[in-house]
Structure 1
Amino acid sequence: MRPDTNAGTSPVDLKPTFAPLVTACNAHGIGRTKAFELAAAGIIETFAVGTRRFVVLESLRTLPDRLREKAA
């Protein structure tokens, strides 16, 4: 039997902090073209790993508020 290495510690609720750009944007109702436009304009925070582009999810979550402020 394997010993419990987590004995005495509380489980950590890890949430993802980034996701593939197109996948995450599609989940928020944003299409591929608009996702890349937002990234190119610096409106959402992205980074590349090799040839894949990822979005920082916090920048995607706060997008509606930031767009509302910009329009006001």
Structure 2
Amino acid sequence: MLRSPKRGSKPADRVRADGRRSHPVCLDAQLIKNLKKAAPDDERNAYEIVEEATRAWLAKRARKRQATR
């Protein structure tokens, strides 16, 4: 559920009740199509899968950076 933005703010500044914000990214069209098909199979939303993959990538990156210090 989206909350209405404050007066004078841009529509992109909307914040969901759960604190999530929108961040548009450009993805390969086939990747988007496959994601939209796969998400319901796992009873998940596409954004949840993208969020999980991003968190995993950031954690892996942090481990690699830590190992090189």
TM-score after normalising by structure 2: 0.33
| Greater Rg by CA | 1
Higher strand share: 1
Higher helix share: 2
TM-score after normalising by structure 1: 0.32
Higher relative contact order (CA 8 A, sep 6+): 1
